[in-house]
Amino acid sequence: MSSGATAELADLVNEWLRIDQNPGTKREISDLWAAGHTEELNKRLRSRIEFGTAGRLRGRMEAGWSRMNDLIVIQASQGLCAYVLEHVDNARNRGAVIGYDHRYNSERWALLTAAAFLDKGVKAYLYRDLVHTPMVPFGVKKLNAACGIMITASHNPKNDNGYKVYCENGVQIIGPHDKGISASIAANLDPKRWDADSVLANPLCIDRTREMVEGYFDHIASLSQYNALNGSTDIKFVNTSMHGVGHVFVDRSFERFGFRPFIPVKEQQHPDPEFPSVRFPNPEEAGALDLAIRTAEATGATYVLAQDPDADRFSAAERKVDGTWVTFTGDQLGAIFAGRILAQYKASGKPLEKLSMVASTVSSKLIEAMAAAEGFNFTECLTGFKYIGNTALALVEKGFEVPFGYEEAIGFMIGSEIRDKDGVSAAVFFAELVALLHREGKTASSFLEELYERYGYFQTNNSYFVCDDPLVIDRIFTRVRNYDGQGSGRTPSYPKSIAGLEVTSVVDLTLGYDTTNPPTYKPSLPLSSGHMIQFRAASEGLKVVLTTRTSGTEPKIKYYLEGSGQDRDAVQGVLREVVRELGDEWMQASLNSLGRPS
């Protein structure tokens, strides 16, 4: 390092040592400095952790501005409190709802968060026990709070934790609030209070835990249509909460739906911040459901239900007649839920034109096809439930009823009470649908096949390329935007075909260019902070939707690919060719030394 860079790093170290009052994290930085670990110190101190795609701060629990620790939580809480007091009416009296899960430091950071709000005379509705993430937006809505905070890192590894923020509307923060809160944090960096011991004794720290939990289960019970029949089903369900907080919530929800108890995966039943049986406590990860499936086979269960550790996401698997297991993708579950909700809405006699469903733009287009055939509204939005929730609220303002929204990353919004994903409501709603199908001699898989027969076969193939060089990523996307060298200025020239299919439309949410919307060519969706382009292509009964985007948290170029048509073999064949051409020709994976998942 140059002398100037060393001096700058020394200033950062000294600033941390001046301001941090936690002996453990303070010692981390001083020990790294004494040992000359400048590279590690640069990683931790050169940049500040920022709100990501899920409207939260999330990272490894270590000392440093780019990590999660006491100091970051205090600063975030001071900045958020100041922002809310300035921008939300009657915020001091309406207060903040604060929840936490079982991870290391979660309870302490919830107390530190409450302390920052109490210090400014703002009520703190602090949950007195472990809760799953949807309890925070539920509480914000029921208590008419000014904001909500959940301390969790969701399905991240055990060494991570996070700080998730909800606006007064009960939805995760979006722009401009994320930038506004970040600016307010920067203006409130000096910690005013480190002591959390007296928080619970403060008269402004209010306990409404029992009332909110009972209200949540009343909401769950309202989602059931066949409560009187559910208890008679002979289907056995296995449920895993992935060492998280979900077990007690799913257990009680099964009871409120009238079901007999499910079979728990005992090794994963109780909250454990070590996550001893899974490396990544994420139901989407390969092998994550292995223990649950073994439990199901040992007990004769037909279905496995799973939530991630903070229980806001849901996955499921089904044992087929031949004894093999199918784990449903997020898009397949989205289709199954949408099909059931559509049937419920039709049976209600309400006009279909008042029904609307929401999905992220990288999710399956099956619901889009369903909406076109049935006559209800379907709306796309950017990836993330902060967009899905706000889009749902905007549609309600226009007179629509929005009982369902989802994203392909196994996030599902069931009903209109909580405008966020909820793995508990999704689990019991799925269980009731399975019980109904069983009475009709069907399964979840056969129901999905019926949807394919009615609306066309849809298959996804999502993956990514690994690239840790931002300049290479920029070069790749620059080339895609001027593929034939005929582009000029603000008028890009994208590839005209892929896998023998003609590209029929391109929506570039980085440039703000939509080929389907002349003469302005402005997209209807808001722009993305990273690279994001969606292509649609078609030929002879086949359709393909390909979205490529950079990850905001990982060194990846992600792609979301879906093919559709009546001929299943043709769809599968064209998907293989699209993946090949995307990697070999569009991304030039070999030339650019792009990695691929094993």
For the whole model, what pTM was predicted? 0.94
pLDDT confidence bin for 421, thresholds 50/70/90: very high
Q: Is the peptide bond before 176 cis (omega within 30 degrees of 0)?
A: yes
Which strands form 263-264's sheet, in the order they lie side by side?
263-264, 237-240, 303-307, 314-319, 325-327
Q: Decide: helix, strand or coil at residue 505.
A: strand
Question: What would the pLDDT profile of 252-282 be if each residue is shown by its tens digit?
Answer: 999 999 999 999 999 999 999 999 999 889 9
Average pLDDT of the residues in 243-256:
98
Active site residue 463: no
Q: What residues does 595 pair with on adjacent strands? A: 466
Q: Write out the DSSP string of 272-328.
A: -TT-TT-SS--TTSTTTTHHHHHHHHHHT-SEEEEE-TTS--EEEEEE-TTS-EEEP
Question: What would the pLDDT profile of 276-305 be if each residue is shown by its tens digit?
Answer: 999 889 999 889 999 999 999 999 999 999
What CA–CA distance (Å, rounded) separates 139 from 127? 10
Average pLDDT of the residues in 105-113:
98
Question: What would the pLDDT profile of 314-355 be if each residue is shown by its tens digit?
Answer: 999 999 999 999 999 999 999 999 999 999 999 999 999 999
Does residue 181 surpass a pLDDT of 60?
A: yes
Does residue 84 surpass a pLDDT of 60?
A: yes
Average pLDDT of the residues in 240-250:
98
What CA–CA distance (Å, rounded) separates 165 from 55? 6
Q: Which residue has the tokens 């990695």?
A: 595
Q: Which of 2, 3, 66, 154 is catalytic?
A: 154
Does residue 376 surpass a pLDDT of 90?
A: yes
pLDDT confidence bin for 4, thresholds 50/70/90: low
Q: What is the pLDDT of residue 3?
A: 63
Does residue 486 surpass a pLDDT of 90?
A: no
pLDDT confidence bin for 52, thresholds 50/70/90: low
What CA–CA distance (Å, rounded) separates 388 from 363? 12
Question: What would the pLDDT profile of 536-578 be if each residue is shown by its tens digit?
Answer: 999 988 999 999 999 876 789 999 999 999 999 999 999 999 9
Residue 90 Cα distances to 94, 170, 552, 568, angstroms: 6, 16, 34, 57
What's the chain's average pLDDT?
95
